[in-house]
Structure 1
Amino acid sequence: MLDLDGPRVAGFGEKGQVPGSWMNAGVYNLDAGAVRDMPARGDLERTLFPSYAGRGLLSAVRFRGAMWHSIDSFKDLEECAASLSRSDPGRRSGRRPRT
Structure 2
Amino acid sequence: MKAVILAGGFGKRLRPLTDERPKPLIEIAGKPILEWQIRWLKKFGVTSVFILAGYKKEVLIDWVSKNQEKLGVPIAILTEDQPLGTGGAIKRLQGFISPNEKFFVLNGDILTNLDLSKLEDQKSIAIISLVPLRSPFGIVKVDNEGNITQFVEKPVLKDYWINAGIYRMNSEVFEYLPEKGDIEKETFPLLAQKGLLKGITFNDVYWRSIDTLKDYEEANVEISEVFKD
Indicate whether the TM-score tops 0.5.
Answer: yes
Q: CA deviation at 1:43?
A: 1.2
Identical counterparts, % of pairs: 33
Provide closer, same or farther for how the CA distance between residues 32 and 74 of structure 1 changes in structure 2, counting only shifts above 3 A.
farther
Q: Identify which of 10, 35, 42 aligns with 2:181.
A: 42
The alignment of Structure 1 onto Structure 2 pairs a total of residues equal to 76
Equivalent residue, structure 2, for 1:22: 161
| Partner-residue secondary structure (3-state), 1:29 | strand
In structure 2, how many angstroms separate the alpha carbons of the residues matched to 1:39 and 1:70? 25
Q: Does 1:80 align with 2:219?
A: yes
Contact preservation (8 Å) 2:206, 2:226: no
Q: Which residue of 2 aligns with 1:93?
A: none
Equivalence for 1:58: 197
Q: What's the Cα RMSD here? A: 3.1
Change in 2 beyond 3 A, CA 1:88/1:74: closer
- Measured at CA, do residues 48 and 24 of structure 1 come closer, stay the same or move farther in structure 2, by a change above 3 Å? same
Larger Rg: 2
**What's the offset of the Cα at 1:66?**
1.0
CA distance in 1, matches of 2:170, 2:226: 35
In the TM superposition, residue 82 of structure 1 has moved relative to its aligned partner by: 2.6
Residue 77 of structure 1 and its aligned partner are, at CA, apart by: 4.3
Instruction: Structure 1 unaligned segments of length 5 or more: list them.
Output: 1-7, 10-14, 90-96
1:72 deviation in Å?
Answer: 2.7
The alignment status of 1:31 with 2:170, answered yes or no, reads yes
Give a deviation string over 1:5-48, Cα, whole Å, max 9, x none.
xxx99xxxxx89xxx43111010111111023210111101000
In the alignment, the residues of structure 2 paired with residue 43 and residue 74 of structure 1 have an alpha-carbon distance, to the nearest angstrom, of 25
> Does the CA-based 8 Å contact 2:177-2:187 persist in structure 1?
yes
Q: Structure 2: 5+ residue runs without aligned partners? A: 1-123, 128-132, 136-158
With normalisation by structure 1, the TM-score equals: 0.59
| 65 and 46 in structure 1: CA distance in 2 versus 1, 3 angstrom threshold | same
Structure 1 residues 33 and 83, CA, compared in 2 at 3 Å: closer, same or farther?
A: same
Q: Return the alpha-carbon distance in structure 2 between the equivalents of residues 21 and 88 of structure 1.
A: 23
User: Larger strand proportion, structure 1 or 2?
Assistant: 2
Question: Aligned in 2, Cα 1:63/1:45: closer, same or farther, shift over 3 Å?
Answer: same
